[in-house]
Amino acid sequence: MQFDLRSMIEHMGGVAWGTVIVLTIMSVYSIGVMIERYWTFTKATKQSRKYAPDVARFLKQGKIKEAIDSSHGVEVKHSHLAKVLVVGLQEWQYQQELGEADRDKDAAVDAAKRAIQRATAVNLSDLKRGLPGLATIGATAPFVGLFGTTFGIINAFSGMALTGSGGIAAISAGIAEALITTAYGLFVAVPAVWAFNYFNGKVEGFNIEMDNSSSELLDYFIKKTT
């Protein structure tokens, strides 16, 4: 038997093929998450860079309503900063309409702070969507491949027992399964781990940006109450 890829695939058994199918599904899912998250994060970065100076300009002019309006629309749909700051701005506007910002200024600021914290938690959860799946695939794909490898070894020993020989012909099918499933498992896992670490780092960066922007907004509210 020739040990090229085609020959090994032809000698794969049912368990090995099942393992390859499972790994393929995992690979397709991870690639889909990578593409979707990359597109979403790219949009979030670009839109937030445009949104931040716009809302800062309105706040310097004391135009809360205009700042809220600039936080809505297709042009800021994916902006992580807009999703967080608009909630604080709306809560502050609501407190002003009730007169709480004048009667109990600290309570009004605390209300805006709690609203921002809730929005940040929700937005972080949305930003992390799909990442647990990448982590799971990166951690389990090698073991799924090892599952196929185990059966490949079993088939190899079965072939040896049936033929009474330890020659390469007796164990070729098992070797094929062992080599392909293990290699394929690593092939699926490595990009998933890389992508998870990359996107997780991006989420951490977004979280820092949201915290900093939220702190600046709360400082603005505090100054308005003094």
Are 134 and 195 in contact, with CB atoms under 8 Å apart?
Answer: yes
The predicted pLDDT at position 149 comes to 82
How far, in Å, CA of 80 to CA of 66, rounded? 19
Lowest mean pLDDT among 75-84, 169-178, 205-214: 169-178
Assigned token pair, 5: 């890829």
Tens digit of each residue's pLDDT (9 = 90 or more) over 127-157: 999 999 999 999 999 999 888 888 777 766 7
Q: Which residues contact 225 (CB under 8 A, 6 or more apart)?
A: 101, 105, 106, 108, 109
Tell me: pLDDT of 1 over 50: no
Q: How is the chain split into domains, by residue range? A: 5-224
Report residue 164: phi and psi, to 5°: 70, 20
Tens digit of each residue's pLDDT (9 = 90 or more) over 59-110: 888 888 999 998 888 899 999 999 999 999 998 888 877 776 567 778 888 8
